[in-house]
Amino acid sequence: MPDTPQARLVVNGTPRSFAGDPRRTLLDFLRLDLGLTGTKKGCDHGQCGACTVIVNGRRINACLSLVAMHDGDDVTTIEGLGSPEALSALQRAFVTHDGFQCGYCTPGQICSATAMLDELRAGWPSVVTEGLSGPSDPSDDELRERMSGNLCRCGAYSNIIAAIREVLQTEPREASA
Amino acid sequence: MREFTYSRAASLDQALGTHARPIAGATNLVDLMKLEVETPDALIDITRLDLSRIERAGDGVRIGALVPNADCAADPLIRRHWPVLSSAILAGASPQLRNKATTGGNLCQRTRCGYFTDLSTCCNKRTPGSGCDALKGVNHNHAILGTSDACIATYPGDMAVALAALDACVQIQGPDGMRQVPLREFHRLPGTAEAPDNVLQPGEIITAVTLPAPPPGRQIYRKVRERSSYAFALVSIAAVIKVESGLISHARLAFGGLAHKPWHDPAVEAALIGQPPGQAVFQRAADILLKDARGFGGNNFKIPLTRRTLAAVLIEATRD
């Protein structure tokens, strides 16, 4: 019988450790063990994107991930992107453009969009991209496709796209380090 | 979720020959474990194994089993020489899922049949011998080719459809050594109730997918679905077609959403090769493809939809 699984990971810059039931998802670990309740549980099946967090620079669904599998990983949640006193550019833009109504999907939307902008800078293609070369000037259809893993039941999509577009146009387009 | 034990494999050998289920991207397995459709009593985490590289192999390429779908789709070599593979991957799932889902795990993705995931219904795949509620149930997204009285579920993936059109091979490591299985022979048809999804045996692990040299001609992946993103295929087609001197000289076609495996029919390709592109030839190819097609009520529409989608793909593939 294997020992109780253990994992040491960094969450928003702080070293954390896990030891316990291997059924613990990364989402429940963040919310219930660390009290980081910004990350939301929507469908709990990887369909809505409310639980999106950034692990080693990549956006993932925290609900479909076992925390025991994240030994050595670097996790960023909405709490790690900015603070009420110092909002990230996307957080500020979501406020400016009213990119939400109820706000439940917003942490996932912002984590997802943060990593999505890095994917754009890295030249990743999408199914909308002509010829599989990364788009130089992403259309709204392109942004919608790239944000398709995040549902908004209130239907704030047009304002979410406006918020993302503002950040896209104001931030220099350069490859991430 | 049922209880299970968890261990981490430090080497490939540790992961072979054990009854523990390998887990990597976890996107499909954890989902099904939450529903208690999957109830493994032991998991072995293989994410630390050195299987995450895409490397040239002769004129072809070897894609490690742990390469995330997102990385495979964005890889410059894949984009340049096997664009149908990039396109197929990008047509599936969401960016978050593609970041986690792996090449090997994606091949083992289980069906999205609603009865398979609903424990209150009869499903031979989930509970052999219990029957198939999809036969007379909500079956609009079920199979029309290669079905049996035991199961009409589809294999839901996109990546494997492109791999079937690219003559890919699956490298499988077991306790007794390595074997290679052509992608087209990896997934199985339902047959009897007890039929597993694929030929992978307990204790074996997929280590890589290999592609031969880039094929000649135009590569296209066309997916028809009920919304424009993040939905499974009603029908999808991976096509590799070359036209020379007014005649089709090379044709590879594989179909998703139609069967319990990526569907490939050499007779369809044979009907195209040596022929001038045109509706008569395309319709004859569709006749051959759909000769034994059978609808189950809700999915009858897939037969004409497949015919029209095939014609559209062939027009695009053979256009000047």
Q: Which amino acid is at A14?
A: T
DSSP annotation of A131: G
CB-facing half-sphere around the CA of B9: CA atoms within 13 A: 23
Q: What part of B 9-48 touches A (C-beta under 8 Å)?
A: 23, 26-27, 30-31, 34, 43, 45, 47
Residue A71: its chain B contacts at CB < 8 A? Answer: 8
Higher-pLDDT residue of B248, A131: B248
Q: What is the model's pLDDT at position B246?
A: 97
Query: Measured in Å, how far apart are chain B's first and last C-alpha atoms?
Result: 55
Q: Could you report the per-residue pLDDT of A10-58, keeping only the tens digit for each?
A: 999 999 999 999 999 999 999 999 999 999 999 999 999 999 999 999 9
**Cross-chain residue pair A46–B96, CB shorter than 8 Å:** yes
Domains of chain B: 5-41 (no CATH), 218-318 (3.30.390.50)
**ipTM confidence score:** 0.96
Q: Rounded distance, CA B170 to CA B149, Å?
A: 29
Q: What is the model's pLDDT at position B193?
A: 63
Residue B180 sits at φ, ψ, to 5 deg, of -115, 135
Residue for token pair 């070359």: B242
Residue A21: its chain B contacts at CB < 8 A? Answer: 3
DSSP string for residues in B27-41: HHHHHHHHTTS---S
Confirm or reject contact between A173 and chain B (CB < 8 A).
no
- Selection from B225, B254, B266 nearest residue B162 by Cα: B254
Confirm or reject contact between A68 and chain B (CB < 8 A).
yes
Q: Give domain A6-81's CATH number out of 3.40.50.620, 3.10.20.30, 3.40.50.720, 3.40.220.10.
A: 3.10.20.30
Q: What part of B 41-60 touches A (C-beta under 8 Å)?
A: 43, 45, 47
What does pLDDT average to in each consecutive run of 10 residues of chain B (320 residues)? 97 95 98 98 98 98 98 97 98 98 98 97 94 97 96 97 98 96 97 84 96 98 94 97 98 98 98 98 98 98 98 96
pLDDT tops 50 at residue A174? no
Closest partner residue to B90 (CB to CB) among A127, A133, A144 is: A127
Residue A127: its chain B contacts at CB < 8 A? Answer: 87, 90-91, 229
| Average pLDDT taken over every residue of chain A | 94
What are the boundaries of each domain within chain A? 6-81, 89-170
Distances (CA, A) of A92 to A99, A167, B172, B173: 10, 9, 49, 50
For residue B230, the chain A residue with the least C-alpha distance is A148
Q: What is the model's pLDDT at position A134?
A: 74
For residue A123, the chain B residue with the least C-alpha distance is B74
Confirm or reject contact between A74 and chain B (CB < 8 A).
no
DSSP annotation of A67: G
In CATH, the number for domain A89-170 is 1.10.150.120
Residue for token pair 């450790």: A17
